[in-house]
A and B are shown apart, each in its own frame.
Chain A
Amino acid sequence: MGLLRYTIVRLIQAIPVLIGITVITFILANVAPGDPVRLMLQGQEVDQELIDRIERQYGLDRPLHERYVAYMTNLLQGDLGYSIHRDRPVTELIIQRSGPTLMLVLSAYAFALATAIPLGILAATRRNEPADHVSRIVALVGVSTPSFWIGIMLILIFAIQLGVLPSSGLVYPWWGPEHYGYSGYVELLFQTIRHLLLPMIALGTLQMATLMRVERTQMIESLQGEYVKLARAYGVPERTILRKHAFQVAQLPIITIVGLNLSTALGGAVLIEYVFNINGLGRLLLEAIIGLDYQLIMGITVVIGTMFVVGVIITDISYAYVDPRVTYGDRD
């Protein structure tokens, strides 16, 4: 089976999960105790007529399964509902806020991979030496520290004490330098990185810690492989063995971990966006919750779930692309 067919099969396999996400979200939103309309109005004095009208408008007077079918019909047309508090379509709000979240999550991954891979290799090649012990401590602290607290500490040190980096907000390069009044694209890039640095480290530390340990274990295993012994026997220099033979094989499990960890990263983004005042999906979710904006909360949950599923599919496909041994179409 070719790569294209494998891709299609993976996409088809994802459909039940995507439908499941909408079902779970829909059930959660509708088993809620109390009248959603009254909750949305939050105790304001309104007459019954208005409540009835809102209920009709949102179809709340119809049975549950009918409402779900209606929700899904709209969803398939890209309509995630309407936010009463913001008086705008949910889809539009989500598209607007997805950029910052994706930028944050992707840069956190870039940071995690750029630090975890060299450190993991270093720890593997210097096993039980000081470098290995340091990497072990870094990994342990990394998985034990709440990301939002790392964010708070980074703000305290770099923004408040040293005053060198901004403590809130992001610069979005797609708005262009004119929007921010910067002199040109160089300054735009510089400012983008400057604003992104602290949230990126705060969100990426956990990923870095997990990836570093996996990289270390994989490299140790890979360095004990027959192909490495053979290469050594042929007198291939150790550096080349490391770079060409051991490294490439060791990267495969990393790809899978990256995909699965996307779940923690997307969840962590909510906390980091809150700490750093970033207007992404996570903050939109928190704002929607304060206003009990049902359709917006449901929409964001469905979109973030979909992002994770798509992310896992992308990593699965790239795994299959990189590893020639993968037999396409194997389930689980």
Chain B
Amino acid sequence: MAIGESQLDSDGPSTDVDAQFGWRYTFGKVMQDTTARWGLYVVAVVLFISAYTLIDSNLSRLTFGAVSDFAAAEALPLFEHPERIPPPGEIESNVPPAFHPDGTLSHPLGTDPDGRDYFTRIVYGAQVSVSVGIVSTLIGFVGGTIIGAVSGYYGGWVDDVLMRIVETVYAIPPLILIIVFIVFVSGGTPDIRYAIVGVGITFIPIFARIIRSEVLSVREMDYIEAARASGVKNRDIILRHVIPNSFAPVLVYATLQIGVTILVVAGLSFLGFGAQPPTPDWGQMLNVSHGYMHSNVWLSIWPGIAILVTIMGFNLFGDGLQDALDPRIND
């Protein structure tokens, strides 16, 4: 075993250098691709906004206690409080956006029916969409990687059973499975946490399938044979050799999947199964604005554009990453 380990270790450093070079090379290729670069910029901006608002709202919470304490609202440096409904008379409700003759520059995108600044709510909406998108994708990614790797590595009945389960989950349209999951598990009181877990679990099969097909070829490699011959435990082989070597395609897929996840979560929130009011969330804002389609057109426009731009950013970046990692697709 000692010999086997040291052999593998002596292989280690050189592949590490390769891998580092590989990552830098990949990043360079992504940056060369104009559309992918723009995708990365959008992703970076959205991530920055989410991080900023997250710190912002939590700082005021830490300093001033609960968010429901509306005295804290004044502590937010750049924005108004996204959830605070101003008392009547303070801010007009349903103010149109700034370019409209009745609009004001202090509310560039207007105010919502409760008199809250719409721009602030759109900005804060990024936080929910992005964090939910990333956390859910991570759940699907980790769960799928484990199931796919175990299934592909062991083969036989383990593979059969796991893949039948995966196929079955796959057979129920994701949105419907997630809704049913949220309703039954939450006992009829939906909440964003159930949505995150539900979306994550539903996407496990997709990731499991991709990593399994990678593992099927990695499994036959000489270094796996060598590790097995030198007595390395199956669990260690999976964790240290199989998974790291089947990683790249799943990572690309995960980037593209974040876009899909944000899309699904927006749909869930739109139907009322995601973030609950007063949390600012794009999908949920579209649900509210649905009732004002005749009078306040702009309420339906901005959240949709925010969703569109965010998802487009992730998709462009993911496409670029895919092209950079897989030269066969280049045309």
Residues of A with Cβ closer than 8 Å to B?
A: 16-18, 20-21, 23-25, 28-29, 31-34, 39, 127, 140-141, 143-149, 152-153, 155-156, 160, 217, 220, 263-264, 266-268, 270-271, 274-275, 285-286, 289, 292, 297, 300-301, 304-305, 308-309
A152-B300, A267-B176, A286-B271 known; A309 vs B183 contact (CB < 8 Å): no
6 A-B interface contacts by CB (under 8 A): A31-B185, A32-B187, A39-B187, A145-B308, A149-B300, A263-B171
CB <8 Å contact, B168 and A21:
yes
A31-B185, A297-B183, A305-B171 known; A152 vs B315 contact (CB < 8 Å): no
Question: Once the chains are docked, how many angstroms separate the CA of A155 from the CA of B300?
Answer: 11
A270 touches which of B175, B263, B266, B294 (Cβ 8 Å): B175
Smallest CB gap from A275: residue in B: B290
Question: Once the chains are docked, how many angstroms separate the CA of A20 from the CA of B160?
Answer: 14
A32 touches which of B171, B179, B185, B303 (Cβ 8 Å): B185
CB <8 Å contact, A20 and B167:
yes
Question: Once the chains are docked, how many angstroms separate the CA of A72 from the CA of B185?
Answer: 22
Q: Is B181 an interface residue (CB 8 A)?
A: yes
CB <8 Å contact, A309 and B171:
yes
Smallest CB gap from A150: residue in B: B304
CB <8 Å contact, A20 and B165:
yes
Hey, which chain A residues are within 8 Å of B164, CB to CB?
Answer: 16-17, 20
Residues of B with Cβ closer than 8 Å to A?
A: 164-165, 167-177, 179-181, 183-185, 187-188, 259, 263, 266-267, 270-271, 283, 286, 290, 293-294, 297, 300-301, 303-304, 307-308, 311-312, 315-316, 331
CB <8 Å contact, B290 and A152:
yes
Hey, which chain A residues are within 8 Å of B290, CB to CB?
Answer: 152, 275
CB <8 Å contact, B188 and A39:
yes
Smallest CB gap from A13: residue in B: B167
Distance (whole angstroms) from the CB of A94 to the closest CB of chain B: 13
Question: Once the chains are docked, how many angstroms separate the CA of A297 from the CA of B188?
Answer: 12
Smallest CB gap from A161: residue in B: B297
Question: Once the chains are docked, how many angstroms separate the CA of A286 from the CA of B293?
Answer: 21
CB <8 Å contact, B331 and A267:
no
